[in-house]
Amino acid sequence: MQNPSGGQKDTNPPIVLKTTPKHGATNTTPDFIELEFDEFVKLKNIQNELLISPPLNTTPDITLKGKKLFIALYDELKTQNTYTFNFGKGIADFHEGNLLDNYSLVFSTGDELDSLFIKGTLNVCENENENQSIVVGIYEKNSLVRDSTIYLQKPDYFCLLDDEKNFEINHIRPGTFELCAFEDVNANYQYDGVSEKIAFYKELIEIGDTADFDLWLFKEEAELKRLDVDVKENGRIHFAFNKTIDTAFAYSNQDLIQKIEMDSLFIWPTSYPKDSFLVYTNVNGHIDSLSVQLDSLKKHNIQLTANEKRLKSDDWLTIYSNAPIVKIDPSKIKILSDSVSLDYKMEIEAFKMAFNIPVYEGQTYQVKIEKGAVLSTYENQNDSTNLSFYSKKQSALADLKINLNTSTENYFVELLKDAEVLERIEPSKNLRFNELLPGSYQIRITLDTNKDGAWSAGNYLKDEQPEKVFYYTEEINLRENWELEIDWAL
């Protein structure tokens, strides 16, 4: 004996039996919309899921009563316009939660339904895997003047991206439009400037064109602002800014050592007066000054670290310092492999030291650095440090060869894993990444139009497009003791 099963599980979404106004109706200007279903339903985040195109200025009220859904409209609908109400994933049956996915109700306030459409693809410049709420919209315009329209108005027609980053806007009337896309963080259907990402088409479009439109999404660069100045250990002065720094120059009546790191400028005076001194900076044209008190500079042990502990066959063993390297005592540095001390050749830069040693397959290396081996400014020195490195057998590694077919000469190719750039190669006939660990990777190519060696963002008001970034469409799966060769045509 057992409990009755209750029958087969319901897997069918609710069915719309009737709508007011009717789907496809013309010459109608309703004050409310009614949908009647064949079963009881529930709403799931309906205020965000319901997309109304063209958008309304006042948010409608949405209520459920029995098997009916009511939408009260408070805006006066525009004449001679086709309206689309897309419910996204906002309606599901009450018991099993089966979604009525992307159901749309379409009607017109004029004599006929607008039937034109546009479609295209959105390319993401900075991180292809980002999955924000992207609105793709068109604005009716007669001239391609980049003005405040997209900051102050909602699009005349819009849609959201699908999972493949494609878009299609339907039921558009004939006309000339500006095509844009933007990351709608606060769900207001307007572009809010540098806090959100944007893409825009280079020309006005005539609705009815059959071509697909490609857009490149990017984040505009903010105006440079200094956020903070901090004087900390190691005699270090830290200028923090709101964006990545390209160029910086610091000067004083004292000798200085400087370092740019992302959005920060670090400065170390090499000598010190008895009391205070002035430091002047020019960062991307932003002029600043700071009075430094001698007693604010603190002594602290400097830290020695390794960014990459796996050595390739032609690698130098590299150790980084968080403060300038002024002097090194080689007698206090030993490199060992299998407890055998190795001879090495050393090269020193301001913040790193590199050791040339014979790298053999499948070996481990220990670097022993005694206290005081590395001296920095303000009489700072390293504490005792032990670091380990290793190499892999060639049979446990993989190579990647890229046959690139492109007409452009200015580009660079990057190898990524989990959205982090691992390696980069410049244009050449032989595009190869060698001695890679087995696993899954991505590759992307940046068209370096201005030849500055970095990706450059665009600017909407200046009508400047970003440098284009292309991702290889498939994931790169590398196996040990294998060379993978791929053909890539842009």
pLDDT at 233: 60
pLDDT at 434: 94
Which of these, 315, 357, 328, lies nearest to 340 by C-alpha position? 357
User: For tokens 């504490």, what's the residue?
Assistant: 383
Answer with the one of 366, 391, 416 that is the final residue of a domain.
391
Residues 424, 415: Cα–Cα separation, whole Å: 6
Please list the ranges in the chain whose pLDDT falls under 70: 6-7, 128-132, 209-211, 232-234, 272-274, 294-299, 429
pLDDT at 177: 93
Task: Let me know if residue 387 belongs to a domain.
Answer: yes
Contact of 354 with 314, CB cutoff 8 Å: no
Task: Tell me the residue range of the domain where 435 lies.
Answer: 396-489
Task: Let me know if residue 84 belongs to a domain.
Answer: yes
pLDDT at 234: 61
- Are 386 and 400 contained in the same domain? no
Residues 42, 217: Cα–Cα separation, whole Å: 35
Task: Let me know if residue 66 belongs to a domain.
Answer: yes
pLDDT at 399: 96
Task: Let me know if residue 166 belongs to a domain.
Answer: yes
Task: Let me know if residue 257 belongs to a domain.
Answer: yes
* Other C-beta atoms lying within 10 Å of the C-beta of residue 370: 15
Q: Which residues of 169-196 are buried (b: 16+ CB within 10 A; e: fewer)?
A: bbbbbebebbbbbbbbeeeebbbeeeeb
- Domain harbouring 137, CATH code: 2.60.40
Share above pLDDT 90 across residues of the chain, in percent, rounded to a whole number: 53
- Are 341 and 360 contained in the same domain? yes
pLDDT at 154: 86
- Domain harbouring 481, CATH code: 2.60.40.1120
- Are 51 and 104 contained in the same domain? yes
- Domain harbouring 230, CATH code: 2.60.40.1220
Contact of 435 with 401, CB cutoff 8 Å: no
- Are 284 and 322 contained in the same domain? no
Total-model pTM: 0.79
Query: Which two structure tokens, joined as six digits, stand for 429?
Result: 């006939």
pLDDT digits (tens, 9 = 90+) for 69-107: 999 999 999 999 999 998 988 899 998 889 898 788 999
Which of these, 236, 238, 234, 375, lies nearest to 299 by C-alpha position? 234
pLDDT at 291: 82
Task: Let me know if residue 167 belongs to a domain.
Answer: yes
pLDDT at 298: 63
Pairing mode of beta strands 482-489, 398-405: parallel
Task: Let me know if residue 270 belongs to a domain.
Answer: yes
Respond yes or no on whether the N-terminal peptide bond of residue 30 is cis (omega within 30° of 0): no
**Total domains in the fold of the chain:** 5
Task: Let me know if residue 1 belongs to a domain.
Answer: no
* Other C-beta atoms lying within 10 Å of the C-beta of residue 472: 17
